[in-house]
Amino acid sequence: MFAAPPRPLARFVFRRGSWQPPSPRALLSTIPTSIAGFLEWQNSDAADVVRVNGFVRSVRAQKKHHFVSLGDGSSLKSLQAVVPADQAEGLTIGAAVRLHGCWVPSQGSGQSHELQVLRADVLGPSDAKTFPLQKKYQTPEYLRTMPHMRARIPHNSALLRFRSETISTLTQFFNDRQFIQTHTPILTSSDCEGAGEVFHVTAGDERQQEAGDTAKTFFRRAVYTTVSAQLHLEALAQGLGNVWTLSPTFRAEQSDTPRHLSEFYMLEAEMSFTDNLSAVMDLVEDMLRHLGNKLAESRVVSELSFRTPGGLADMAPVDQVERRWSGLTREAWPRITYSEAIDILDNADESFAHKPQWGKDLHTEHERYIASRVSNGDTPVFVTNYPRDIKAFYMKPNTEESLGRSTPGETVECFDLLVPDFCEIAGGSMREHRLGPLLASMKRHGLETSFEEVTAADGSAQSPGNNLDWYLNLRRWGCPPHGGFGLGFDRLICYLSGVQTIRDTTVFPRWYGRCDG
């Protein structure tokens, strides 16, 4: 909320060419300071001494006055400024300006007040002929060619403000529950998923690499950019209790789809002294429900529901996005097992491009069908107990007692969270906290460890390619039962904003074949 506006300052006399800037004290006493604040300032009186900073979005020139639309990233709407023609020099589209004048009731429509400019300072000139963001519809594909300019588009700035508010709300959620926020490393010698789809980190220029100069390695072993903070969170949870992080992760998947990025953010949490997968799912459900309740009525969410004729193709329909928000706030999200999901897919009244089969991972088309059928598209759906062989090595196996029913094969205590219209946005599991079973699982997944003898083809001893000994050591020295989850933060922003592709949820997207800016 904005503070109550001050009493109008005493009017000053303005004569052409004789205007004097207000005193610093007067400037400090004027509010608000952002364009969003001015547009929400419903003061019936005029304010004489105001100063507005922003970028020129458009200019409509007339003989005596120029009508300038100004934005500063704080609002989807523009502020209208009426500038005398003799003060309008340099007010071209894209220019960074500071306008001094009076905030007075508007004679036109569109906003309650307008800025009657007394002096205009051009702080950063712009060449209108070459400025790439003209006042017309810009396609997402075109904007992705210039990521350094995308934040200047009002809708993109709204998305970034939505990201900021989401992070703030989630931070407060975890603070209220005594989770400790941590910062995990980006460079790691451990491949968490064991899938090999990682970026390798090398030092030196391309000429050294082409010459095969590998003697001078920066680190003593192979290093990757992280695919997940989970392993390090497990270590931190043994010293701090419940922990969480929001950090960048990297996947070297050659996937050119609207759901994949090579660099993206993951929200991950780890719960110590927890031996029940339901507790982890409860945390995810409570977190997203809290987010939906806190942000549903915020100004930025309202702005994201604004549609223009030229932008309808780039956003999900408003009623569809509203159903997504409503679903987050509902109680008791359905929880079904993977085996039950396969049964539902086998009995589906539609055909799939990929035939569902027990023991195989669910495809996007399967996930969307499950999310729409199980809850009628009203709420997210948890799918639990996936087959052991398609999940990561660190997941704890189920027992017949914990399953309560027979399945075609062995499963692990895990879940994926599926949301309507979209796909999986979160996944979690109980972690195998016992050393012996964890070693057996790693061997079954083909992961080497120096806990067992590793030999090269010539019979000589060598270090394993994946440094997980420290992770195994956690199981030797007081490792309690624990579990956690990871949520694709960019996918969540995509889902709740109505943006159709994850590439438009961040300013500088990186995906297969593209790393611009």
pLDDT of residue 377: 83
SS (H, E, C) 345-412: HHCCCCCCCCCCCCCCCCCHHHHHHHHHHHCCCCCCEEEECCEHHHCCCCECECCHHHHCCCCCCCEE
| 160 in a structural domain | yes
Residues 74 and 39 in one domain: yes
Pairing assessment for the beta strands 263-272 and 424-430 based on DSSP bridges? unpaired
Residue 7 domain flag: no
Q: Is the pLDDT of residue 457 over 60?
A: no
pLDDT (0 to 100) of residue 313: 58
24 domain residue, yes or no: no
Q: Residues 268, 357: one domain?
A: yes
Does a structural domain hold residue 358?
A: yes
- Output the pLDDT for position 300: 93
53 and 186 inside one domain: no
Residue of higher predicted confidence among 194 and 296: 296
Omega cis (within 30) before 32: yes
Confidence of residue 425 (pLDDT cuts 50, 70, 90): very high
Residue 473: which pLDDT band, with cuts at 50, 70 and 90? very high
Instruction: Please give the pLDDT value at position 202.
Output: 80
CATH number at residue 73: 2.40.50.140
Please write the tens of the pLDDT for every residue from 91-104.
999 999 999 999 88
Tokens of 303: 């702005």
CB atoms within 10 A of CB 506: 22
Residues 390 and 470 in one domain: yes
- 100 lies in the same domain as 203: no
- Domain encompassing residue 163: 151-207+214-449+463-504
Q: Which of 109-123, 127-141, 213-227, 357-371 has the highest average model confidence (pLDDT)?
A: 357-371
Q: What is the pLDDT of residues 354-383, one digit of tens each?
A: 999 999 999 999 999 999 999 888 899 999
Identify whether residues 177 and 55 lie together within a single domain. Answer: no
Gap between the Cα atoms of 236 and 244, Å rounded: 10
Residue 3 counted as domain residue: no
Please state whether beta strands 79-84 and 113-124 pair in parallel, antiparallel, or not at all (unpaired).
Answer: parallel
pLDDT of residue 342: 96
**Assigned domain for 470 exists:** yes
Per the domain annotation, does 218 fall within a domain?
Answer: yes
Q: Is residue 455 part of a domain?
A: no
DSSP, collapsed to helix, strand or coil, labels residue 253 as coil
Q: Are residues 179 and 119 in the same domain?
A: no
Domain match, 164 and 99 both? no
Q: Are 302 and 193 within one domain?
A: yes
Do residues 96 and 123 make contact, with C-beta atoms less than 8 angstroms apart?
A: yes
Q: State residue 40's pLDDT score.
A: 86
Confidence label for 456 from pLDDT (cuts 50, 70 and 90):
very low
Q: Which of 334, 339, 340, 232 is nearest to 281 (CA)?
A: 334
CATH code of the domain covering residue 280: 3.30.930.10
Domain count, the chain: 2
Cα 70 from Cα 57, distance rounded (Å): 6
Last residue of a domain, one of 99, 132, 165: 132
Residues 164 and 267 in one domain: yes
Picking from 132, 165, 193, the residue at the C-terminal end of a domain is: 132
Last residue of a domain, one of 105, 132, 159: 132
- Mark whether 121 and 162 lie in a shared domain: no
* Per-residue CA distances from 232 to 184, 226, 247 (Å): 6, 10, 12
Give the length of the chain: 517
For 176-231, write each residue's pLDDT tens digit. 999 999 999 999 887 666 555 888 888 766 655 555 555 456 787 788 899 999 99
Task: Give me the chain's average pLDDT, please.
Answer: 85
* Per-residue DSSP letter, 4: P
Give the position of tokens 């309740």: 293
SS3 call for 336: strand
486-507 pLDDT, tens digit per residue, is 999 999 999 999 998 888 888 8
